Amino acid sequence: MVAHYMPFWQAESRHRVQSGASLAWSRFGGQINFPARSPPRSENLSPPRSELSFPEVKQKWNKLLSVLFIAVFAVSRIPGLMPQNFSVAYAFAFCAGVYFSRRLSWWLPLVVLLATDIGLNFYYQRAHPDYQVWSAPNLANLAFNYAAYVALIFLGRRFKPQSSFTALLGGGILGAILFYFITNTASWFFNPFNNPEYSKNLAGWIIALTKGTGGYPSTWEFFRNTLLSGGLFTALFVAAEKLTAPAESPADKTAGAREPEGEAEPEEKPEEAKA
């Protein structure tokens, strides 16, 4: 059996690359090694897509939350929509103090509360003409409601948006308790509906905080609704803020932090001492 060998120049011409690229080859054992060819680059000539990333969507929703808070509060004040004393007002005032800017946290919730209270007074005056909603005792009692709202906003200002969910929920519940004590004390003191149970002594004050007037649900039921609504709506508002809050950058985390004071550098010796 005769072995046939292919001449060297035939093997080179057979495997030459037409594009003119250099051919690295080696002839060991009658084989020719070719360099690995990279795949052709695919150039994308289409314009880049303008898609919103998930952090950008969260930031847009976060900016709309203040409007959402106001809308939820305004809807909740429709008469008959919720049980008595089951209100968004407590959580709204507290969360406004936490999340709104310094000036906005004071005037915006108070203006919204005042506008809805005026509307409710006109509604009740028309629906119940025997109610003296514009009487001096009732307006004085209503003024104490705003004192309670101011206390809730002030309490919210003591917290930071970065506070934990549990801490903010506890603050909202504490604000609801403060509102209950302030407003019921004002109802006992001014007694706008001339309730005979509200005598101007310690016993009358305790009745105002616990039992209330005859023919109506007890004050403890109102307190239960105040506590539940304050905790519920504070939890909803805080959860919405936490879920839509933008990620905190390392610069934001260290902003305002004081650098640890190092050891005092030794004073340089005078040149005469160095000489």
CA distance linking residue 267 with residue 15, whole number of Å: 79
How much is the pLDDT for 42? Answer: 53
CA distance linking residue 243 with residue 62, whole number of Å: 9
Average pLDDT of the segment spanning 51-72: 67
End-to-end CA distance of the chain: 99
HEC states along 111-174? HHHHHHHHHHHHHHHHHCCCCCCCCHHHHHHHHHHHHHHHHHHHHHHCCCCCCCHHHHHHHHHH
CA 1 to chain centre: 89
Q: What is the mean pLDDT of the chain?
A: 76
User: Residue 48 — very low, low, confident or very high, per pLDDT cuts 50/70/90?
Assistant: low
Neighbours of 50 (CB within 10 A): 5
Name 73's Cβ contacts closer than 8 Å, sequence gap at least 6.
88, 89, 92, 112, 116
How much is the pLDDT for 39? Answer: 58
Structure token pair of residue 52: 């919103």
pTM: 0.66
The residue among 97, 98, 99 whose CA lies nearest residue 110 is: 97
- Decide which of 131 and 142 is more confident: 142
The residue among 84, 80, 100, 73 whose CA lies nearest residue 236 is: 73
Phi first, then psi: what are they for 267, rounded to 5°? -70, 145
How much is the pLDDT for 94? Answer: 94
Contact by Cβ (8 Å): 26, 32: yes
